[in-house]
């Protein structure tokens, strides 16, 4: 499906909105951008003057710095805004940027709910700008491997997937443990897991989501201690995605069953159980290498050459819908239908 984003002129001038904080992500994004021909970091906006000083030191004195987004959007040298802020600020800041005619990359998760996602998608269409999400984990080696295993038909048609991330520890007191700010326990790694899931499941459409949320142990934060989403697809296939902070025992990150075999994550490799010529056959398939530098290469190709946008905002909205419906289901005690179940749009590197 082609996009209508008009071609940009090189260099694409990029602004980091939020520079320090979580894992020094402003420098992380800037490093990839400045390595891409036709893109460069020209501005940084952050409320913390110390972080702006750090940005100047790391990026060079040529960048302009701001403490106010409105001021930057009014007269800053900016074509593309990379929003690297706490989750509850993603939608309001992105809407300002889109309405100002700027392209936008949002750190994951896209936002806190489907209504916010839809408002941004509509704003991008209205302003004829690019809106996308930093689902860079599509370039992780384990996802690239299991996606190839499934797409190459090595285990037949997938009918059952379990995905797990967890341990026995709290979220901490930082904003990532605040439900009001972060969105909840699903909104960190869960956004990546659900994005992976929807690519692996291919053209299937979701029917409904059943959710199980628990808050029992860690009182120093407001995020849930354990969240789980059971997703039913239109052909009867199902997926179980669990993120837990109250799991003293682990499970494989990936457990995938197909009509002809299975693939189980072993950390660094998958154990593949299938058949050759009707005979059982097992194999160990090592993770592929990561290809994380491709994300911004694809952004440049889209903006400068008109190539297909790799991560569509409608895809990112689906992950938000799953998380939102899982919580709604946990409260209602019944499966909830999934809004905005858009047609599947395959991703390729």
Which residues in the chain land under pLDDT 50? 1-3, 343
Which top CATH class is 138-290+317-337? alpha beta
Q: What's the confidence (pLDDT) of residue 345? A: 57
Q: What's the confidence (pLDDT) of residue 347? A: 58
Q: What are the Cα distances from residue 319, in Å, to 13, 128, 134, 298, 325?
A: 29, 23, 13, 21, 10
Q: What's the confidence (pLDDT) of residue 3? A: 47
CATH fold for domain 12-134: Rossmann fold (3.40.50)
Q: What's the confidence (pLDDT) of residue 173? A: 66
Q: What's the confidence (pLDDT) of residue 21? A: 59
The single residue listed with the structure tokens 């919580």 is 327
Beta strands in 167-314 (DSSP E): 206-214, 226-233, 238-244, 254-258, 262-265, 269-276, 279-286
Show me where the domains of the chain are located. Answer: 12-134, 138-290+317-337
């Amino acid at each position: 499906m082609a996009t209508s984003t008009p071609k940009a002129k090189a260099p694409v001038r990029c602004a980091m909105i939020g520079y320090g904080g979580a894992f020094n992500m402003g420098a992380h994004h800037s490093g990839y951008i400045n390595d891409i021909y036709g893109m460069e970091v020209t501005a940084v906006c952050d409320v913390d003057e110390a972080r702006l000083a750090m940005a100047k030191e790391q990026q060079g004195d040529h960048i302009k710095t701001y403490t106010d987004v409105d001021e930057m959007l009014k007269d800053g040298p900016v074509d593309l805004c990379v929003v690297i802020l706490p989750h509850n600020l993603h939608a309001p800041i992105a809407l300002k940027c889109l309405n100002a005619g700027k392209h936008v990359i949002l750190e994951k998760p896209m936002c806190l709910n489907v209504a916010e996602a839809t408002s941004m998608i509509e704003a991008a269409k209205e302003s004829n700008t690019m809106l996308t999400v930093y689902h860079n984990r599509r370039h992780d080696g384990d996802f690239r491997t299991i996606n190839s295993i499934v797409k190459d038909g090595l285990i037949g048609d997938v009918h059952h997937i379990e995905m797990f991330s967890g341990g026995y520890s709290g979220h901490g007191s930082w904003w990532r443990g605040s439900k009001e700010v972060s969105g909840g326990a699903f909104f960190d790694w869960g956004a990546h897991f659900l994005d992976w899931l929807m690519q692996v499941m291919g053209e299937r459409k979701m029917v409904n989501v059943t959710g199980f949320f628990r808050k029992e142990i860690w009182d120093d934060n407001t995020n849930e201690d354990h969240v789980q989403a059971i997703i039913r697809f239109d052909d009867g296939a199902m997926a179980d995605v669990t993120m837990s902070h109250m799991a003293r025992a682990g499970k494989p990150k990936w457990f995938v069953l197909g009509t002809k075999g299975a693939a189980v994550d072993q950390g660094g490799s998958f154990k593949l159980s299938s058949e050759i010529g009707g005979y059982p056959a097992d194999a160990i398939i090592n993770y592929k290498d990561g290809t994380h530098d491709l994300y911004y290469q694809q952004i440049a190709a889209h903006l400068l050459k008109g190539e297909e946008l790799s991560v569509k905002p409608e895809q990112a909205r689906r992950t938000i819908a799953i998380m939102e419906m899982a919580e709604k289901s946990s409260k209602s005690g019944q499966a909830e239908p999934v809004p905005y179940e858009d047609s599947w749009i395959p991703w390729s590197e």
